[in-house]
Amino acid sequence: MWNEFKQFAMKGNVIDLAVGVIIGGAFGKIVSSLVADIIMPLVGLLLGKVNSFAELSYHSLAYGKFIQSVVDFFIISFSVFLFVKLITRFKRKEVPAEVVVKVETQEELLTQIRDLLKENQESLRNNETS
């Protein structure tokens, strides 16, 4: 069972997924900081001394937090889109040249089979005479 787990964990897809999750988490923090520390203060200046949407509310409804979450989502998803687009551009350049595979014709395969059958018959005859 341990060997099966090691084989599963060492497959390329699992490792790629783990790396993607770690990088995605770090990237999410960077983009969240961009939104909270740079973009929203600029938006706050435009709205009139409001530092973020999260401060907006009407009585007990904190609709500003919802707007802030939506803005965060769109900025993070667009950033991830651009990042993935950049990565796929690099991957396309790294694709190795196609490997040429020699495909044997039917005649060549039949010739090989015939030769093997002849060798097998000869070895059987030699064993009977010995």
Per-residue pLDDT tens digits for 10-47: 666 666 777 778 777 877 788 777 777 787 777 777 77
CA distance 11 to 8: 6
Percent of the chain with pLDDT over 70: 78
Q: What's the rounded Cα separation, in Å, for the pair 101 and 49? A: 68
117/122 Cα distance (integer angstroms) = 9
Position 110, amino acid: L
CATH of domain 2-97: 1.10.1200
pLDDT at site 57? 73
Residue ranges per structural domain of the chain: 2-97
Pick from 40, 107, 41, 95: nearest CA to 69: 40
Residue 36 one-letter amino acid: A
Q: Supply the DSSP string of 21-80, one letter for each residue.
A: HHHHHHHHHHHHHIIIIIIHHHHHHHHSS---GGG--BTTB-HHHHHHHHHHHHHHHHHH
**Amino acid 94: pLDDT:** 54
**Beta bridge pairs of residue 1:** none
